[in-house]
Amino acid sequence: MVLTRSSKPGKQRKALAKAPLHARWRFLNAMLSEDLAREHGVKRLPVRAGDTVVILRGDWKGHEGKVVEVDLKRSRVAVEGVTIKKADGTPVYYMIHASKVMITKLGEIDEVRKKIIERRAKKTKEGG
């Protein structure tokens, strides 16, 4: 999604930071695994709580787990088992950007998600 026509990085960052919450789900797109992509005819889908993902980048690379929480405001996801300790010793989830994970197993497929898959699959078949 192009937020602004400007090529200035500052304006791009500002548009991302000021994007309304109803538009932020687009920032949470993650790549589907090869079998899922073939099965549904879609390359990417928004990450949701309940999806099983594998982390592709960073210190937690290769870790697989369920998505516990999705933070729309910061465009990050929390994965089961990916925690760090605070100074007082309590564990907190280490939030990971959605583009750095790959969905290996979809959670619940409700009507909204089904419509997204159908719409995107139709677009790819048409070549648009």
Q: For residue range 69-125, list pLDDT tens digits in order.
A: 999 999 999 999 999 999 999 999 999 999 999 999 999 888 999 999 999 888 777
Q: Please count the structural domains in the chain.
A: 1
* CA dist., res. 61 & res. 85, Å (int): 18
* CA dist., res. 83 & res. 92, Å (int): 5
Q: Is residue 6 part of a domain?
A: no
Helix (H, G, I), strand (E, B) or coil at 96: strand
Q: What is the CATH number of the domain that holds 70?
A: 2.30.30.30
State the pLDDT at residue 122.
84
